Amino acid sequence: MDFKHISVLLNETIDNLAIKPDGIYADGTLGGGGHSLEIVKRLDKGRLICLDRDGEALEAAKKRLDSYKDRITFIRSNYDRFREVMDELGITAVDGIVLDLGVSSYQLDNPERGFSYNNDAPLDMRMDKRSEKTAADIVNGASETELAKILKVYGEERFASRIAGLIVRERQKGDIETTFELNNIIKSAIPGKFRREGGHPSKRTFQAIRIAVNGELDSLEKALGVMIDGLSDRGRLCVITFHSLEDRIVKNIFREAADPCTCPPDFPVCVCGKKPLGKVITNKPVLPGEEEMENNSRSKSAKLRVFERIRNQKQ
- In the chain, where the domains are located: 10-106+217-309, 126-214
Confidence (pLDDT) at 82: 98
| Residue type (1 letter), 8 | V
Task: Kindly report, residue by residue over 97-109, the tens digit of the pLDDT.
Answer: 999 998 887 788 8
**CA–CA separation, 236 and 15 (whole Å):** 11
Confidence (pLDDT) at 297: 81
Hey, which bits of 87-157 come out as E strands?
94-100
Which run of H or of E encompasses 148? helix 144-155
Stretch among 31-45, 64-78, 105-119, 226-240 having the lowest mean pLDDT? 105-119
Say if CB 115 and CB 107 are below 8 A apart.
yes
Query: Which CATH superfamily hosts domain 126-214?
Result: Putative methyltransferase TM0872, insert domain (1.10.150.170)
Stretch among 9-18, 223-232, 262-271 having the lowest mean pLDDT? 262-271
Query: Model pTM?
Result: 0.93
CATH class in words for 10-106+217-309? alpha beta
Backbone Cα Rg of the chain: 21
Say if CB 51 and CB 28 are below 8 A apart.
yes
Confidence (pLDDT) at 1: 45
Q: Is the pLDDT of residue 3 over 90?
A: no
Confidence (pLDDT) at 206: 97
pLDDT band at residue 315 using 50, 70 and 90 as cut-offs: very low
**CA–CA separation, 253 and 133 (whole Å):** 29
Closest CA to 56 of 33, 25, 23: 33
In this chain, the answer to whether the domains covering 10-106+217-309 and 126-214 adopt an identical fold is no
| Residue type (1 letter), 185 | I
Give the number of C-alpha atoms closer than 13 A to the C-alpha of residue 90, restricted to the C-beta side.
Answer: 1
Say if CB 71 and CB 48 are below 8 A apart.
yes
Which run of H or of E encompasses 210? helix 203-214
Say if CB 107 and CB 125 are below 8 A apart.
no
**CA–CA separation, 25 and 303 (whole Å):** 21
Which run of H or of E encompasses 108? helix 105-109
